[in-house]
Chain A
Amino acid sequence: GAGVSQSPSNKVTEKGKDVELRCDPISGHTALYWYRQSLGQGLEFLIYFQGNSAPDKSGLPSDRFSAERTGGSVSTLTIQRTQQEDSAVYLCASSVPGSDTQYFGPGTRLTVL
């Protein structure tokens, strides 16, 4: 079956612009996660959705970052007024209810010039 998909695969933007990153989880997966993978920094948790609600937003680095999920499926991560330090690979993962095994998408590589 289809895995987690993310778009775009690559995004180059100028400092100060807004960007939107999209995640399509595996069908039936109610939990959705966003992570950021920076060079040499490992994976950093950003936000967790259960259905359309986000019980844990503790990893969002600043108020320039926001995310939403609609219909219990697609999620969008928005970064406003991008900065060079936002450059990273943004990963999305999903899991079935009650499971701790997360399935990852291919990521979106964001480069802020």
Chain B
Amino acid sequence: AQSVSQHNHHVILSEAASLELGCNYSYGGTVNLFWYVQYPGQHLQLLLKYFSGDPLVKGIKGFEAEFIKSKFSFNLRKPSVQWSDTAEYFCAVNAYNAGNNRKLIWGLGTSLAVNP
């Protein structure tokens, strides 16, 4: 079965620290990869996505992620976090099946707290 694993459940950082959140998926075929973010009291919104092409993708607010196919990974990074980055981060994978369903398979999320 397809699955997504996020290695860090809770991360606490100080402002200006660098961030890397791990995401691994299990599926050998074609995948589209996503990071979504949920700020406190707000709904889920897309942070960045990878469909094809350059495996290093850049998203909003200075975030980037690198798709490494050989490692089945799509780690999220940001060189210098801000207090406003405090949120829940979710990695998701769309794995095409015979029905061409576009449902997303989600990781359990990583709660990031940035201390000012």
Contact A100 B108 (CB under 8 A): no
Q: Which residues of B contact A106 (CB under 8 A)?
A: 42-43
Contact B90 A42 (CB under 8 A): yes
For the complex, give the distance between the alpha carbons of A102 and B101 in Å. 13
Contact A56 B45 (CB under 8 A): no
Q: Which residues of A contact B99 (CB under 8 A)?
A: 55-56
B62 CB → nearest A CB, Å: 20
Q: Which residue of B lies closest to A6 (CB)?
A: B43
Q: How many residues of B contact A (CB 8 A)?
A: 23
For the complex, give the distance between the alpha carbons of A111 and B102 in Å. 29
Q: Contacting A45 at CB < 8 Å: which of B43, B51, B103?
A: B103
- A23-53 to B contact mask, C-beta < 8 Å, 1/0: 0000000010101000011111100100000
- Cβ of B74 within 8 Å of any chain A Cβ, yes or no, is no
Interface residues of A in 57-113 (CB under 8 A from B): 59, 91, 93, 95, 100-107
Q: Which residues of B contact A59 (CB under 8 A)?
A: 103
How many A-B pairs have beta carbons closer than 8 Å: the answer is 54
Contact A101 B49 (CB under 8 A): yes
Whether A104 contacts B94 in the complex (CB less than 8 A), given A31-B102, A41-B108, comes out as no
Q: How many residues of A contact B (CB 8 A)?
A: 24
For the complex, give the distance between the alpha carbons of A84 and B92 in Å. 27
> Which residues of B are interface residues toward A (Cβ below 8 A)?
32, 34, 36, 42-46, 49, 51, 90, 92, 94, 99, 101-109
> Which residues of A are interface residues toward B (Cβ below 8 A)?
31, 33, 35, 40-45, 48, 55-56, 59, 91, 93, 95, 100-107
Q: A102-B104, A104-B44 are in contact. List 7 more A-B contacts (CB 8 A).
A: A33-B103, A33-B104, A42-B90, A45-B105, A100-B49, A101-B46, A106-B42
